[in-house]
């Protein structure tokens, strides 16, 4: 089996020259992938069109949620015993909490990084588009919740201390920020791959909604796979060793903060998947639309 693997570990070594070439290559990819950057809207032209397609062709649950109030009571903070909630509610509150962390992180970063007019390096330009993509992801997550009949969701800031941490993080020098930023992107892809499989389980009786949620999640995952490669590109040889070591503590800490995750997923399995990540398990249709660094290709 191993002989036929197309891709190498995301922790594979890379020379400074390879990384420089891959930044240029990623910038080229990103121009076509998301379309024009609409800075005032924190949006991208192609992504906006794609979301509009979903909104113009809505899908609804055959059997509406039995108890939407259980969602609204627990989605910002878990108030009930998570064991008392059904899997569908847990899945939806878990999706919101994961997406909310993303949203808070990018809100802080958007104001901290230069806008496109003041982005003079390829890396700065990439960072700006990357953040716009992340805002698009929050809209897609919101659409997932609406598809399940939850149209009163508010995107609520985290507590003041966490907000402050997220605001300061993008201002850190690269040698401090790049490694955790890379691990965070990897954690996103790991979570999305596990969530994709969970849809089959939780939405077995709701095939239309299951397929729609998968389509919405695919849009996010395809970008996030490219982000994993792009963030990997910032990390040098020492940083890449550190980042592999950070997978376990980072995943553990982050998922402990979302009680739903422990109920729905095998976190140990997620950690193993993160450490072993090499792009080979991803379906071809995703790889075709995403981007992988040249030094991760076998």
Question: What's the CA gap between 218 and 226, in Å, rounded?
Answer: 12
- Against a cut of 0.85, is the pTM above it? yes
What are the tens digits of pLDDT across the range 2-21?
A: 446 899 999 999 999 999 99
The token pair that represents 214 in the structure block: 């998968």
222 touches 288 (CB < 8 A): no
- Residue 191 neighbours by CB distance under 10 Å: 24
pLDDT for the residue 157: 80
Mean pLDDT across 197-206: 97
Overall residue count recorded for the chain in this entry = 298
pLDDT for the residue 166: 67
Question: What's the CA gap between 236 and 148, in Å, rounded?
Answer: 43
DSSP string, 145-200: HHHTT----------HHHHHHHHHGGGS-HHHHHHHHHHHHHHHHHHHHHHHHHHH
What are the tens digits of pLDDT across the range 272-294?
A: 999 999 999 999 999 999 999 99
- Residue 210 neighbours by CB distance under 10 Å: 17
pLDDT for the residue 2: 47
């Amino acid at each position: 089996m191993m002989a036929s693997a197309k891709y190498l570990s995301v922790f594979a070594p890379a020379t400074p020259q390879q990384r420089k070439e891959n930044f240029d290559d990623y910038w080229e990819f990103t121009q076509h992938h998301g379309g024009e950057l609409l800075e005032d809207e924190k949006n991208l032209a192609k992504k906006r069109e794609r979301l509009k397609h979903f909104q113009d062709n809505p899908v609804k649950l055959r059997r509406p949620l039995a108890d939407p109030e259980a969602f609204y009571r627990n989605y910002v903070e878990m108030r009930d015993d998570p064991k008392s909630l059904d899997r569908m509610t847990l899945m939806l509150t878990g999706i919101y909490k994961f997406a909310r962390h993303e949203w808070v992180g990018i809100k802080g970063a958007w104001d901290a990084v230069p806008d496109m007019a003041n982005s003079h390096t390829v890396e700065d330009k990439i960072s700006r588009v990357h953040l716009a993509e992340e805002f698009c992801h929050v809209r897609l997550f919101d659409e997932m919740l609406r598809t399940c009949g939850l149209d009163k969701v508010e995107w609520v800031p985290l507590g003041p201390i966490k907000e402050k941490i997220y605001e300061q993080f993008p201002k850190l020098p690269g040698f401090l920020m790049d490694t955790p930023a890379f691990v965070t992107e990897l954690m996103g892809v790991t979570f999305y791959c596990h969530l994709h499989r969970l849809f089959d389980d939780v939405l077995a009786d709701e095939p239309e909604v299951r397929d729609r949620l998968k389509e919405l999640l695919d849009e996010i995952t395809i970008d996030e796979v490219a982000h994993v490669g792009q963030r990997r590109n910032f990390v040098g040889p020492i940083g890449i060793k550190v980042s592999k070591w950070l997978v376990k503590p980072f995943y553990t800490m982050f998922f402990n903060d979302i009680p739903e995750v422990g109920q729905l997923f095998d976190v140990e399995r997620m950690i193993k998947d993160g450490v072993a990540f090499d792009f080979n398990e991803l379906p071809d249709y995703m790889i075709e639309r995403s981007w992988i660094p040249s030094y991760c290709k076998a």
